[in-house]
C-alpha cells in the first residue's frame, strides 16, 4: 500500500460551521430515535404529514415480513403534496422551474399544480379510472409527468411509472403484470437535440398479442413535440382536451395509510422484473423525513435539483414526493447533460441559483471526463449540499464533486438505498456528520443496519470487517411486497437471514473501525481471487484514481489457477487519448497493485470507448464477464445502446 494520509479516502470534512448552525437536523435526532424508535417514527408521521384521521398505531409487524405502518390513519398523498401548501398561503411558491431540452421553460407554482392535478384527476375519473385501479405512466421529463402521478394519487389509483426509454415490450410486460387500465403518455419528448417519438411504442405495446388483449381501456396523450401520431378512436384522448373538458375541482380520496400508492418495476437476478409495491402513509413519511434532513431543506430559500428521471425510484421519492411534501422549489430538466453543450447543467445551476443538487456517480465521472474547464466558467456559489446515489462513489469522484462542483466548500452526502427501501437509509447528515469520501457512513436516525458474515453474525464493533448489509428492523418506507408474488418477496429479501428476521439487501459492505459503512457493490459483483474477496468497486475506484482513466468497469472472469481473475475495461480521459494501449495497460495494472494490493492486480486491462450501461446508468458487468470469458454475449436488450457490446468486441479483437 502506498496510500498516505493526504489521499482522498483518508481525508475527512467536518460540516461547514454556517451550515451546521442553521441545519434542520441536529445530533439530537440520533438520540431520540435510539431512545424509542417507534415513537420517533410516529412523531415524524404526525409532524411531516397532514392526516384526515391521525394514526394512533405506528408499526404492526405481526404478519412479518408484511408490515403495516400507521395502519389506522387516513390521508391523501396529492393533498399532502399540493393542497395543504396552497391552503397555507404558499400557492404562489414555485414547485418546479422546468427546463425543456430545446430551451423552452415553464414555471409551475403550487397553485398551478393544484389546478392541473384536480382537472387531471377528474379527467382520469371521466375515463373510468377508479380508486384501486392501476395506471401506467410512460412520459418524458415534463411537468405533466408529475401532474399525472399526483392525479393518480388523488384518486387512490396506484401509478406504475415505466421509464420512457424502455421498449414497447418492456412497457407491455409491466402493463400486463400490473393489469393497468389506462396509460398516460406523450407524442414524444426531446433527447439529444431531437424530438423522440413515444406514442408508437405505446401503440405497439397495446396491440393484441397471441390473441390476448391488453387490459388498457384508455390512453391519455400529452402533446409535447407536436409530431404526427397514429390514433385509436375511442381509446386515445389528448391530455389537453381531456383536462379542458374536466371539472376544475376534485375532492381528494382519503385512503388508509396502507393503501397502495405505486408499483415500480425493477430488475432482479432473474429475467422477470419485480413490481415493487409501496403504500401511502409510511412511504410518504420516509420520503418527507429523508428529503428534509439529508438535504437540509429550507423550503423558503432552497432551490433543489435532482437530476434523475421519474422512471426510477429516485425520481419518485426525490423529484416528486419528498420535495413536494416539504413544499420545496425544484428544478426539473427534460434532456441530456450535453445538449446543446456539455455545460448545460452548470448553466441551469447558475440561472436558477440551485442550492442542493442530487445525482449519480456515473454522471459525476462523465463530467470529470469532459473536464473541469466546462464548470469553471459558471458561478456555482449558490450550491450548499451535493448528494450522490445509485452506486458506490469512488473517493476520486467524491473529492472532484466536492472540489469542482461544490467549490471546495459543500458537504457531499452519499446516500445508500434501493427501490425496495422507498427512501434513503444510509447517509451522512450535512450539518452533523464529519464526511469521509467514498463512505455512505451511518444509518439515518430511525434506521437499523448491520454488516454481517455468511452465518449472520454481526461483525464486532470497533474492528474493520466486511460482509453483507442487512436491515435489522422494519422501516416506514419499506416495500410491502412484490406485486402479485408474495413468495418471491419472501424468497428474495427474507430467506437469506430468515432465522434472524433480517432484510437482505444484496449488497456487500465494509464497516470501518469507527463504525462507518462503505458499500462494496452487489454481492454478485464481489470477486474471489485466490481466496481473497475483492470488490469490483474497489478495483474500479483504484483505476479511476489514475490520472489517465475516466471510467472503469471490472469483472471477475473464471481463471484455472486463481478461481477468478480480474479483468478491467477502462475509458481513458481526453488527455490520455493516443497512448499506447499495451503500455497504459501495464501501467494501470501496476497502479492497482500499488493502490490496493498485488492480489487485486487486473489480469487484463482493455481500453474501450464506451461501457455497456442500462438506461439508468448501471454498468452491466454480466455482459463484460461474457466478453472476458470469451463467451457469446448474452441478452443486450436492457442496454441503453445495444451497439456498445459490438464496438467493445471489435475494439478488443483489433487489439489482439
Ligand atoms: C446500489 C437506487 C452504493 C446498491 C436508489 C443498491 C448504492 C442498488 C448506493 C439499488 C450508494 C444505490 N452506494 N451503492 N450510495 N445507492 N446503490 O433500486 O447496490 O435502482 O442495492 O435504487 O443500487 O438500486 P435502485
Rg from Cα positions in the chain:
24
Q: What's 14's DSSP letter? A: P
Q: Find the mean pLDDT for residues 130-139.
A: 98
> Which pLDDT value is given to residue 655?
44
Q: What are phi and psi of 450, to 5 degrees?
A: -135, 160
Cβ of 101 less than 6 Å from ligand 1:
no
* H/E run at residue 522: strand 517-522
Cβ of 318 less than 6 Å from ligand 1:
no
| Distance from C-alpha of 280 to C-alpha of 535, rounded to nearest angstrom | 37
> Which pLDDT value is given to residue 362?
82
Cell numbers at 76, concatenated: 391523501
419 in a known ligand binding site: yes
| Distance from C-alpha of 603 to C-alpha of 567, rounded to nearest angstrom | 6
Percentage of residues of the chain with pLDDT beyond 70: 95
| Distance from C-alpha of 260 to C-alpha of 278, rounded to nearest angstrom | 6
- CA 417–ligand 1 middle distance (angstroms): 5
Binning pLDDT at 50, 70 and 90, where does residue 396 land? very high
- CA 612–ligand 1 middle distance (angstroms): 18
pLDDT tens profile 467-518? 999 999 999 999 999 999 999 999 999 999 999 999 999 899 999 999 999 9
Binning pLDDT at 50, 70 and 90, where does residue 271 land? very low
* H/E run at residue 304: strand 303-306
Q: Find the mean pLDDT for residues 58-65.
A: 98
Phi and psi based region of residue 617 (left: phi greater than 0; alpha: psi -120 to 50; beta: remaining): left
**Model pTM above 0.90:** no
Answer for the pair 256, 284: CB distance below 8 angstroms, yes or no: no
> Which pLDDT value is given to residue 332?
98
68-79 burial, b at 16+ Cβ within 10 Å, e below that, comes to bbbbebbbbbbb
Q: What's 224's DSSP letter? A: S
- CA 576–ligand 1 middle distance (angstroms): 31
Question: Residue of the nearest CA to atom 25 in ligand 1?
Answer: 418
Cell numbers at 88, concatenated: 397555507
Averaged pLDDT of the chain = 92
> Which pLDDT value is given to residue 536?
85
Answer for the pair 565, 557: CB distance below 8 angstroms, yes or no: yes
pLDDT tens profile 276-309? 999 999 999 999 999 999 999 999 999 999 999 9
611-639 burial, b at 16+ Cβ within 10 Å, e below that, comes to bbbebbbbbbbebbbbbbeeeebeebebb
Whether the pLDDT of residue 8 is over 70: the answer is no
| Distance from C-alpha of 573 to C-alpha of 577, rounded to nearest angstrom | 7
Cβ of 507 less than 6 Å from ligand 1:
yes
Q: Find the mean pLDDT for residues 422-435.
A: 98
Comparing 7-16, 58-67, 380-389, 549-558, the range with the smallest average pLDDT is 7-16
Whether the pLDDT of residue 4 is over 70: the answer is no
Whether the pLDDT of residue 5 is over 60: the answer is no
Q: Find the mean pLDDT for residues 454-469.
A: 92
Q: Find the mean pLDDT for residues 91-120.
A: 98
Beta strands in 573-644 (DSSP E): 604-607
Atom of ligand 1 nearest to the CA of 519: 3
Q: Among candidates 198, 206, 209, which has minimal Cα distance to 234?
A: 206
pLDDT tens profile 330-383? 999 999 999 999 999 999 999 999 999 999 988 898 899 899 999 999 999 999
- Tally Cβ neighbours within 10 Å of residue 284: 30
574 in a known ligand binding site: no
> Which pLDDT value is given to residue 593?
85
Cβ of 391 less than 6 Å from ligand 1:
yes
Whether the pLDDT of residue 465 is over 80: the answer is yes
Cβ of 276 less than 6 Å from ligand 1:
no
Is 222 in a helix, a strand, or coil?
A: strand
- CA 620–ligand 1 middle distance (angstroms): 14
Whether the pLDDT of residue 103 is over 70: the answer is yes
Binning pLDDT at 50, 70 and 90, where does residue 641 land? confident
> Which pLDDT value is given to residue 266?
85
Terminal alpha carbon distance of the chain: 32
Comparing 129-133, 167-171, 190-194, 357-361, the range with the smallest average pLDDT is 167-171
> Which pLDDT value is given to residue 587?
96
Amino acid at each position: 500500500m502506498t496510500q498516505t494520509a493526504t489521499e482522498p479516502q483518508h481525508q475527512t470534512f467536518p460540516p461547514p460551521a454556517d451550515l451546521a448552525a442553521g441545519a434542520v437536523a441536529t445530533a439530537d435526532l440520533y438520540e431520540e430515535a435510539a431512545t424509542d424508535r417507534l415513537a420517533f417514527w410516529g412523531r415524524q408521521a404526525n409532524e411531516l404529514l397532514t392526516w384526515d384521521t391521525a394514526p394512533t398505531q405506528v408499526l404492526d409487524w405481526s404478519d412479518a415480513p408484511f408490515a403495516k405502518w400507521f395502519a389506522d390513519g387516513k390521508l391523501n398523498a396529492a393533498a399532502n403534496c399540493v393542497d395543504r401548501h396552497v391552503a397555507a398561503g404558499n400557492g404562489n411558491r414555485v414547485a418546479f422551474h422546468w427546463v425543456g431540452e430545446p430551451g423552452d421553460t415553464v414555471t409551475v407554482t403550487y397553485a398551478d399544480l393544484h389546478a392541473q392535478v384536480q382537472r387531471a384527476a377528474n379527467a382520469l375519473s371521466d375515463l373510468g379510472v377508479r380508486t384501486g385501479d392501476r395506471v401506467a405512466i410512460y412520459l418524458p421529463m415534463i411537468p405533466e409527468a408529475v401532474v399525472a402521478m399526483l392525479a393518480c394519487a388523488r384518486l387512490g389509483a396506484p401509478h406504475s411509472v415505466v421509464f420512457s426509454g424502455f421498449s414497447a415490450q418492456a412497457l407491455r410486460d409491466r402493463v400486463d403484470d400490473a393489469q393497468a387500465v389506462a396509460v398516460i403518455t406523450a407524442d414524444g419528448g426531446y433527447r439529444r437535440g431531437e424530438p423522440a417519438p413515444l406514442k408508437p411504442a405505446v401503440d405497439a405495446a397495446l396491440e393484441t398479442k397471441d390473441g390476448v388483449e391488453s387490459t388498457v381501456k384508455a390512453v391519455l396523450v400529452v402533446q409535447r413535440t407536436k409530431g404526427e401520431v397514429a390514433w385509436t378512436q375511442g381509446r386515445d384522448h389528448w391530455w389537453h382536451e381531456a383536462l379542458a373538458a374536466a371539472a376544475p375541482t376534485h375532492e381528494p380520496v382519503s385512503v388508509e395509510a396502507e393503501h397502495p400508492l405505486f408499483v415500480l418495476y425493477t430488475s432482479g437476478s432473474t429475467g422477470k422484473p419485480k413490481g415493487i409495491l409501496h403504500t401511502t402513509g409510511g412511504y410518504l413519511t420516509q420520503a418527507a423525513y429523508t428529503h428534509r434532513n439529508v438535504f437540509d431543506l429550507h423550503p423558503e430559500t432552497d432551490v433543489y435539483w435532482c437530476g434523475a428521471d421519474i422512471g426510477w425510484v429516485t425520481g419518485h421519492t426525490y423529484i416528486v414526493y419528498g420535495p413536494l411534501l416539504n413544499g420545496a422549489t425544484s428544478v426539473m430538466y427534460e434532456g441530456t447533460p450535453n445538449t446543446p453543450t456539455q455545460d448545460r447543467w452548470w448553466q441551469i445551476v447558475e440561472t436558477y441559483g440551485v442550492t442542493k443538487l442530487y445525482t449519480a456517480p456515473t454522471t459525476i465521472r462523465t463530467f470529470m471526463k469532459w473536464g473541469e474547464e466546462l464548470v469553471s466558467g459558471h458561478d456555482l456559489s449558490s450550491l450548499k449540499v451535493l448528494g450522490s446515489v445509485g452506486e458506490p462513489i469512488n473517493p476520486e469522484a467524491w473529492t472532484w464533486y466536492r472540489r469542482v462542483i461544490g467549490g471546495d466548500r459543500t458537504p457531499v452526502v452519499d446516500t445508500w438505498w434501493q427501490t425496495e427501501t422507498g427512501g434513503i437509509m444510509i447517509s451522512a447528515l450535512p450539518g452533523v456528520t464529519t464526511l469521509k469520501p467514498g463512505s455512505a457512513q451511518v444509518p439515518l436516525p430511525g434506521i437499523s443496519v448491520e454488516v454481517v458474515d455468511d452465518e449472520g453474525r454481526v461483525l464486532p464493533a470497533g474492528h474493520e470487517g466486511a460482509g453483507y448489509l442487512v436491515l435489522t428492523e422494519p422501516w416506514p418506507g419499506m416495500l410491502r411486497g412484490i406485486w402479485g408474488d408474495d413468495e418471491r418477496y419472501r424468497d428474495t429479501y427474507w430467506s437469506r437471514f430468515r432465522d434472524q428476521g433480517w432484510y437482505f439487501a444484496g449488497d456487500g459492505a465494509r464497516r470501518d473501525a469507527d463504525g462507518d459503512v462503505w458499500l462494496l457493490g452487489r454481492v454478485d459483483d464481489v470477486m474471489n481471487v485466490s481466496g481473497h474477496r475483492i470488490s469490483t468497486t474497489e478495483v474500479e475506484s483504484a483505476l479511476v484514481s489514475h490520472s489517465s482513466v475516466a471510467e472503469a468497469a471490472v469483472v471477475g472472469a473464471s481463471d484455472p489457477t486463481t478461481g477468478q481473475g480480474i479483468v478491467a475495461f477502462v475509458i481513458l480521459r481526453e488527455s490520455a487519448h493516443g497512448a499506447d494501449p499495451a503500455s497504459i495497460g501495464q501501467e494501470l495494472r501496476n497502479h492497482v497493485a500499488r493502490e490496493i494490493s498485488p492480489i487485486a492486480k487486473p489480469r487484463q486491462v482493455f481500453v474501450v470507448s464506451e461501457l455497456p450501461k442500462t438506461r439508468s446508468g448501471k454498468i452491466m458487468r454480466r455482459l463484460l464477464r461474457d466478453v472476458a470469458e470469451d463467451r457469446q454475449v448474452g441478452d443486450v436488450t436492457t442496454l441503453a445502446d445495444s451497439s456498445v457490446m459490438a464496438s467493445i468486441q471489435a475494439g478488443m479483437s483489433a487489439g489482439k
